Amino acid sequence: MVAVVPSPPLMIPQLAAGGAEESAPLRRACLDVAGRLATGCDRWVVLGADPDGADPDGADPDGGHVLGTFLGFGVDVRVSLAPEPVGPPRADLPLAVLIAGWLRGQVAPRLRADAELVAPDLPTARCRALGASLAGRVGPGTGLLVVGDGAVTHTEKAPGHLDPRAGPFDRAVASALADADPDGLLDLDAGLAAELGAIGRAPWQVAAGAAATARGARWDGELVYSGAPYGVGYHVALWRRAW
């Protein structure tokens, strides 16, 4: 099973403050797919982008998982990828890890997750190969939680300002997610994604590579949410094996 969620810190109620109601539909959608992923799996692998080169999965040298915090975004909301995190809270973990840790804590606090993070500019061919490798390493009880955003250029006030190519790009993402179409995700132009600030492109393509590699598998897709409430493309989806 594959769940796709975005990574806006404002999804966390304590960080949204006065905007909590505006972010509520997105938050509900993310909790919905994360909850269903947890119901169908006993372990998660988190796929995300790591533009800052931080500790890849929030793990300590002894193989445990560290405690993370959203303090860098203004509020000390503590999260982890494991039921019993170790060490002092760290604010320097990749955002994908923090978001995954928050979702895990909300829907399945006893579940354990590990992260496989990639550079946002990882070429499509390498994303596909990494996904194929991942598919061969994970068992049937492992779900993929894919964390990443679309274009940051949907409006003049968006982080990347307005780029008219953002709409068609994120419509293509939404269509591929709705149809459980790995080829549609693998066809995304990496150069265009970089120009639009869509850091979800690489983790989406890793997940697509894994889905395309699963022997004999067919997938049913469900697009739960797709929009750009802050001028950034956010997509929430769930893929289930139809066999």
Q: How does pLDDT run across 169-225, given as a tens digit for each residue? A: 999 999 999 999 999 999 999 999 999 999 999 999 999 999 998 766 789 999 999
How sure is the predictor about 22, in pLDDT bands with cuts at 50, 70 and 90?
confident
Q: Which of 12-26, 36-50, 222-236 has the lowest mean pLDDT?
A: 12-26
> Angle 19-25-29 (CA atoms, 0-180°, nearest 5)?
130
User: What confidence score (pLDDT) does residue 215 get?
Assistant: 60
In this structure, the chain runs to a length of: 243
Domain assignments of the chain as residue spans, ordered by start: 2-55+111-241
Kindly report the average pLDDT of the chain as a whole number: 92
Q: How far apart (Å, rounded) are the C-alpha atoms in residues 101 and 79? A: 5
User: What confidence score (pLDDT) does residue 54 get?
Assistant: 45
Q: How does pLDDT run across 109-155, given as a tens digit for each residue? A: 999 999 999 999 999 999 999 999 999 888 889 999 999 999 999 99
User: What confidence score (pLDDT) does residue 16 get?
Assistant: 82
Question: Is 77 exposed, middle or buried, given 0-12, 13-18 or 19+ CB atoms closer than 10 A?
Answer: buried
Domain 2-55+111-241, classified CATH 3.40.630.30, yes or no = no
Q: How many other C-beta atoms lie within 10 A of the C-beta of residue 214?
A: 17
Is the per-residue pLDDT at 20 higher than 80?
A: no
235 forms beta bridges with 226
Average pLDDT over residues 76-103: 95
Asked if 145 contacts 38 with a C-beta cutoff of 8 angstroms, the reply is no
State the distance between the two ends of the chain, measured CA to CA, in whole angstroms: 12
Q: Which of 54-63, 208-217, 226-235 has the lowest mean pLDDT?
A: 54-63
User: What confidence score (pLDDT) does residue 55 get?
Assistant: 45
Which DSSP helix (H) or strand (E) runs through 3?
A: strand 2-5
